[in-house]
Amino acid sequence: MPVTTSDKRATFRKMHESGCFIIPNPYDTGSAKALQHLGFKALASTSAGFAWTMGKADNGVTLDEVCTHLAALCAAVDLPVNADFEGGFAHEPAKVGANVARGVKTGVAGLSIEDSTGDAAKPLYDRAVAVERIKAARAAIDADGSGVLLTGRCEGFLVGQADLAMVIDRLQAYSEAGADCLYAPGIKTKEQISAVVKAVHPKPVNLLIGASGLSVAEAGELGVRRISVGGSLARAAWGGFMRAAGEMAKKGTFTELGNGYSAGELNKMFR
């Protein structure tokens, strides 16, 4: 029986009720299919990984491009897909809500909104504005009746404002504004992670493992519900590509090509 969008969304919500699961980040449909093949139960898009496939820097893609990408990911796999929806592709809460309404129609099971502005002089939105942006996203999802799971993100640790009390205060406010899941990328220590989990309990917390270095078991013991890896898989793929291409360009040799994945296995996986 075909897996419907409603099925994916219901499954995704259920996954957040207990345990700790990995939600790896594919950067295109091929990597999404590969992750499904490996047995993962849900996926999350990566703004950076997707941007690099288009020859752009992170946060350099448009709303149109992201929505097309998300629709392709959702159509390619039978798994729930959580959207890295960056900052909602707008500043004003009303426009964030309108864009979220559009993003929901791509078939995603979850969607995150972050509070970074992209302005180095003022990297985070004022708290009140950030809360209104989450409320607008919540209202757009509720109006659609989709059941899409909303994640509220505080980017403090990624923009040089590593004030745990401030981050927790914002996450609690985003929870009250309607976020179903909370996320503070960049927290690393067990003490930081535990403090965030306790502060927003009983709502689930997403942890960026590429930054923390913990195992799934260790994160689960701290109460983390879900683990994503951001652009790490994309960077790993680019690492192999750049090493092989760099060797050819600099040395005129081809040794690194021998470390590539089997073409036969790739064809078998995608057949």
Indicate the domain borders of the chain: 5-230, 231-271
pLDDT in tens, 107-159: 999 999 999 999 999 999 999 999 999 999 999 999 999 999 999 999 999 99
Beta-sheet strands, E only, within 184-271: 205-208, 226-228
What's the rounded mean pLDDT across residues 161-183?
Answer: 98
What string of H, E and C letters represents the secondary structure of 73-85? HHHHCCCCEEEEC
State pLDDT tens for residues 179-226. Answer: 999 999 999 999 999 999 999 999 999 999 986 789 999 999 999 999
pLDDT of residue 211: 67
Q: How high is the pLDDT of residue 184?
A: 98
Asked if residues 103 and 70 have their Cβ atoms less than 8 Å apart, the reply is: yes
Supply the pLDDT for residue 213: 81
Structure confidence at residue 50 (pLDDT): 98
Q: What is the pLDDT of residue 212?
A: 72
CATH superfamily, domain 5-230, is Phosphoenolpyruvate-binding domains (3.20.20.60)
User: Mean pLDDT over residues 17-23, rounded?
Assistant: 98
Closest to 175 (Cα-Cα) out of 123, 116, 113, 227:
113
Share of the chain above pLDDT 70, in %: 99
Predicted confidence (pLDDT) at residue 42 exceeds the cutoff of 90: yes
